[in-house]
C-alpha cells in the first residue's frame, strides 16, 4: 500500500537491497508469467526476507511500478540528427517501438498497477523532457521549431492510446503522418 517514500538512508545496505530486489524483479519477470510472480519468490532471489519488501514497497503492485518507472527512464538524450524534424522522427520511432514491444507494454501496465499516481506522471515527465531537449536545439539552429504540448497531444497520445486501448498496429508512416500535423510545411 504504502508510500515508496523518499528514504533518508541512501547509502550502503539500503541501496544494496534496493538494487538487489530490482534485479530480482527483472530476472523473474523475464522467467515467468506476471500472474505467478510473487513477493516471496522475489525476496528469495534477492537474498532478503519477504517482510523487508512488504515494509519497504508495500505491495507487489507498488514494487512492479517502482521497477517499471526506473526502467522507463531514458538513458540518453535524444539523438541529434541535424534538424527538429528528423530528430522528432527518430525519437518517435524509437518511442513507438519501445512502448509497443512486449516488455514495453508490460512496463506500462505495471506503472498502473499501483495506486500511486506519481508513477504515471513521472513517465510523462520523462517524455516531456526528451521532447523539450529536442525543441531547445532548434533555438540554437534558428529553424522552425514545434510546441512540445502539441507533440504530446497529437503524436505521443495517439500512439499510447493505440497501444493501451485499440491494439491497432502502427508503422512509421503512421507516426510520420502524426508528426506532419504538428509540423506543417516541413516536408
Partner DNA sequence: TTCTTAACGCAAAGGAATTGCGTTAGTGCG
Partner DNA sequence: CGCACTAACGCAATTCCTTTGCGTTAAGAA
Enumerate binding residues for DNA (CB under 7 A). 1, 7-14, 17-18, 38-41, 47-52, 54-56, 58-60
Phi, psi of 175 (to 5 degrees): -65, -40
Q: Give the x-and-dash track for 150-169 against its own copies (CB under 8 A).
A: --xxx-xxx-xxx-xxxx--
Identify whether the C-beta of residue 39 lies closer than 8 Å to the C-beta of residue 63: yes
Residue 78 DSSP one-character state: P
Q: Using CA of residue 162, residue 167, residue 173, residue 177, what is the dihedral sign?
A: negative
Using the minimum distance from each CB to its own copies, give the nearer residue, 140 or 165.
165
Q: How far apart are CA 101 and CA 21, in angstroms?
A: 24
| 53 scored as a contact of its own copies (CB under 8 A) | no
- Report the residue from 22, 45, 71, 109 that binds its own copies according to the rule CB under 8 A: 109
Q: Judged by CB under 8 A, how many residues of this single chain contact its own copies?
A: 29
**Taking CB within 5 to 8 Å according to partner kind, which of its own copies, DNA, none is near residue 160?**
its own copies
| 55 scored as a contact of its own copies (CB under 8 A) | no
Contacts of 66 by beta carbon, 8 Å cutoff, 6+ apart: 4, 22, 57, 114, 119
| 21 scored as a contact of its own copies (CB under 8 A) | no
- Report the residue from 90, 112, 129, 180 that binds its own copies according to the rule CB under 8 A: 112
Report the interhelical angle of 60-72 vs 50-57 (nearest 10°). 70
**Taking CB within 5 to 8 Å according to partner kind, which of its own copies, DNA, none is near residue 48?**
DNA
Identify whether the C-beta of residue 53 lies closer than 8 Å to the C-beta of residue 21: yes
For residue 35 the three cell numbers come to 500472474
**Taking CB within 5 to 8 Å according to partner kind, which of its own copies, DNA, none is near residue 40?**
DNA
Instruction: State the DSSP H helix or E strand holding residue 146, giving kind and residue range, or none if neither.
Output: none
Residues at the site binding its own copies, with contacts judged by CB under 8 A: 1, 33-35, 59, 109, 112-113, 115, 117, 120-121, 123-124, 152-154, 156-158, 160-162, 164-167, 178, 181
Amino acid at each position: 500500500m504504502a508510500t515508496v517514500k523518499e528514504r533518508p538512508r541512501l547509502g550502503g545496505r539500503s541501496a544494496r537491497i534496493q538494487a538487489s530486489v530490482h534485479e530480482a524483479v527483472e530476472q523473474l519477470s523475464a522467467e515467468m508469467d506476471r500472474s505467478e510472480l510473487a513477493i516471496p519468490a522475489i525476496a528469495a532471489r534477492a537474498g532478503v526476507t519477504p517482510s523487508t519488501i512488504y515494509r519497504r514497497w508495500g505491495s507487489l503492485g507498488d514494487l512492479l511500478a517502482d521497477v517499471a518507472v526506473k526502467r522507463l527512464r531514458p538513458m540518453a538524450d535524444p539523438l541529434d540528427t541535424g534538424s527538429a524534424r528528423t530528430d522528432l522522427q527518430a525519437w518517435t520511432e524509437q518511442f513507438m517501438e519501445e512502448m509497443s514491444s512486449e516488455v514495453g507494454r508490460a512496463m506500462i501496465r505495471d506503472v498502473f498497477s499501483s495506486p500511486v499516481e506519481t508513477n504515471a506522471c513521472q513517465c510523462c515527465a520523462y517524455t516531456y523532457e526528451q521532447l523539450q531537449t529536442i525543441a531547445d536545439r532548434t533555438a540554437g539552429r534558428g529553424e522552425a521549431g514545434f510546441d512540445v504540448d502539441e507533440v504530446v497531444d497529437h503524436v505521443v497520445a495517439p500512439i499510447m492510446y493505440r497501444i493501451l486501448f485499440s491494439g491497432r498496429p502502427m508503422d512509421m508512416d503512421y507516426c510520420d503522418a502524426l508528426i506532419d500535423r504538428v509540423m506543417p510545411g516541413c516536408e
